[in-house]
Structure 1
Amino acid sequence: MANTAIPTVDLSPFFSTENDENGKKKVKETINKACSEYGFFLIVNHGIPQDLLNQAMHLSKTFFKFPDEEKLKCGPTPGAPLPAGYNKQPETLDDKNEYIMMFPPGSGFNLFPSNPPGFKEAMEQMFNYFSKIGELIESIINDCLGLPKNFLKEYNHDRSWDLMVALHYFPVTDDTKNVGTSEHEDANCITFVFQDDVGGLEVKENGEWIPVIPEQGKLVVNVSDVIQVLTNNKFKSATHRVVSPKGINRNSFAFFYNLHAEKWVEPLPQFTTEIGEEPKYRGFLYKDYQAMRMRNKTHPPARTEDVIHITHYAISTS
């Protein structure tokens, strides 16, 4: 299937020394449409050097080729809000992958191996770049929604809860049924993905799965559950999955522009009372939802219908 349904956004007007208001307007129009329909888009000219992305991907692939005993030297880190460091999905799960999770540089939760050399430094540089891009996309979304200037920035001002994950997906074999990552939506605010040339990421639109074809210089962006709740479904949390190809390893980086655990999340009055709409979700503490989502992974329910999604907080209209 063609990739034409997923728009590509050129962010260069926001990095130009010239005041390209027309270019910025086009960017906002494209992002607004994408977020309203299914929550996915691609970005180019985003400010992250391609050499750094390539270097980080190479080092990540090198690390994941090491024996388990070597990889286990870097985690998981005790005391972190989520299991930082190296982790491997339980064998009982259909989604079979391994990953390194890191929090902001200097947070004290990140343990990295000395081998391969330069891996820690590359990850930290990537983290800082992604954090800046997250702030930019958040600002653009703020404008798309017509919210007061810096509203989302002030609501989500604590960057200490952002996290980045280097992922390795095991290849599908004849005796495995894993699909990479099952159909889901992300729990956070905004997610950024850099995938290798293997591909496998797919987004759901109107009941159809659309492959997100890897292209040089492009990053994937998807809106997540917090934005969907705040906007009372005006912006959609993107439904996506990873389909691992048979016999081929897949690697990617995912950056989760997150929310502080103690934040209260509920539909904003700009999308409910001020326009005469009923709220579609009851409010909740983000840490409570995050804990339930993490339990989906560590103790997966026996029945698919018992997996927790944002619909857990949905208000019934019946």
Structure 2
Amino acid sequence: MADSIPTVDLSPFFGEGDEDGKKKAKEVISQACSQHGFFQIQNHGVPLELLNRALELSKTFFGYSDDVKRISSHGSGAPLPAGYNRHPEHSPDKNEYMLMFPPGSGFNVYPQNLPEFKEVLEDVFSHLTKIGSLVENIVNECLGLPPNFLKEYNHDRSSDFMAALRYFPATETENNGITEHEDGNCVTFVFQDQVGGLQVRKNSEWIPVTPAQDTLVVNLGDVIQVLSNNKFKSATHRVVRPEGKSRYSYAFFYNLQGDNWVEPLSKFTKEIGETPKYRGFLYKEYQALRMRNKTHPPAKSEDVIHITHYAITS
């Protein structure tokens, strides 16, 4: 049986003087990121009451009729379809979700009969943006990069987004909530209800990420894997839907602006005599390929585009 997913206490990073606590946290994070790209954080600074309220409001929203939910959606030119969405029937993923972008971006649509939703989600978004910056800085140190390297590389927060998700109960013949995949961004944060279902692949085994009220789940995405030339891993994960009940969660994607160029850094290639494992690419081009996976799912699973599309084969 593979190990469980580690939980890291971030409280040393919110005070002064606890260098030993910071060192221990970075050691655990470095090991997790080099093995499978998944860990959990506690004492992260996001109020538990706020997260619980956001989950309660999402349950209320997803309990509305489809006609009411569809009002809270539009194609406003956002980089992804804003507001309420539901995976098409031919998709193997069985869930519905509401997508929001940074407050003030003009892309967001909220239900008029649930006025508190906007305030709560914007508050959550603000908190997760801050914790995203902190975790990005910790990853920067774990990789041994120059101070603030990732912050300067990924300084534009306009491409971040958050999804409130509902996974439908499993049926007798189907239990996929989200099929096996990796995230294409930099870092993703998840908070979930107590139903469970999230799993990460570690050492060829699927390990359940057990819900805990005071934790956030963190996983690295493809951008970090490419920059580090596979030193840190993009986490492979999935959601297995439980029987008899829906699963509610939020995912916050600490993203990269589309015009950024992504390629293995010289620190992990030229400076140490290693061959680059990926060719460089514009991030928005990769985003477009991943979106096509969803809008036009390939008939064969092996034709789904992953970061291996840019891999350099020897």
1:144 aligns with 2:172: no
Q: 1:33-88 CA deviation, whole Å, 9 max, x = no partner? A: 10001000000000000000000000001100000010011103321111111100
Contact preservation (8 Å) 1:63, 1:115: no
Aligned equivalent of 1:15: 14
Q: In the alignment, which of 232, 235, 245 is matched to residue 235 of structure 1?
A: 232
Map 1:70-89 onto structure 2 (within 5 A): 70-89=68-87
Aligned equivalent of 1:94: 92
Give how far 1:93 is off: 1.3
Give how far 1:247 is off: 1.9
Aligned equivalent of 2:206: 209
Contact preservation (8 Å) 2:73, 2:82: yes
Unaligned runs of 5+ in 1: none
- Partner-residue secondary structure (3-state), 2:75: coil
Q: Distance in 2 between matches of 1:228 and 1:44?
A: 24
- Partner-residue secondary structure (3-state), 1:181: strand
Give how far 1:178 is off: 4.2
- Partner-residue secondary structure (3-state), 1:66: coil
- Partner-residue secondary structure (3-state), 1:5: coil
Aligned equivalent of 1:278: 275
- Partner-residue secondary structure (3-state), 1:119: helix
Letter aligned with residue 281 of structure 2: F
TM-score, with structure 1 as normaliser: 0.97
Q: Distance in 2 between matches of 1:84 and 1:210?
A: 32
Contact preservation (8 Å) 2:175, 2:242: no
Unaligned runs of 5+ in 2: none
Q: 1:284-314 CA deviation, whole Å, 9 max, x = no partner? A: 0000100110111111000010000000000
Give how far 1:261 is off: 0.5
1:103 aligns with 2:132: no
Q: Distance in 2 between matches of 1:73 and 1:315?
A: 45
Letter aligned with residue 308 of structure 1: I
1:5 aligns with 2:4: yes
Q: Distance in 1 between matches of 2:107 and 2:44?
A: 28
Aligned equivalent of 1:25: 23
- Partner-residue secondary structure (3-state), 2:44: coil
Q: Distance in 1 between matches of 2:276 and 2:55?
A: 42
Letter aligned with residue 129 of structure 1: H
1:167 aligns with 2:161: no
Aligned equivalent of 1:291: 288
Letter aligned with residue 214 of structure 1: P
Contact preservation (8 Å) 1:95, 1:178: no
Give how far 1:5 is off: 2.4
Q: Distance in 2 between matches of 1:5 and 1:178?
A: 23
Letter aligned with residue 120 of structure 1: K
Q: Distance in 2 between matches of 1:300 and 1:137?
A: 33
Q: Distance in 1 between matches of 2:243 and 2:310?
A: 37
Q: 1:188-226 CA deviation, whole Å, 9 max, x = no partner? A: 000000011001000001110000000111110001100
What is the root-mean-square deviation of aligned Cα atoms in Å? 1.0
- Partner-residue secondary structure (3-state), 2:88: coil
Task: Identify the range of structure 1 (145-154 vs 4-13) with the bigger mean alpha-carbon deviation.
Answer: 4-13
Q: 1:168-203 CA deviation, whole Å, 9 max, x = no partner? A: 0111122x5241000000000000000110010000
TM-score, with structure 2 as normaliser: 0.98
Q: Distance in 1 between matches of 2:149 and 2:105?
A: 26
1:50 aligns with 2:48: yes
Q: In the alignment, which of 301, 306, 309 is matched to residue 309 of structure 1?
A: 306
Give how far 1:233 is off: 0.1
- Partner-residue secondary structure (3-state), 1:146: coil
Q: 1:117-154 CA deviation, whole Å, 9 max, x = no partner? A: 30111100000000000000000000011100000000
Contact preservation (8 Å) 1:100, 1:166: yes
> How many correspondences in the alignment?
314
Task: Identify the range of structure 1 (176-185 vs 90-99) with the bigger mean alpha-carbon deviation.
Answer: 176-185
Q: Percent identity?
A: 68
Q: Distance in 1 between matches of 2:112 and 2:36?
A: 41
- Partner-residue secondary structure (3-state), 1:251: strand
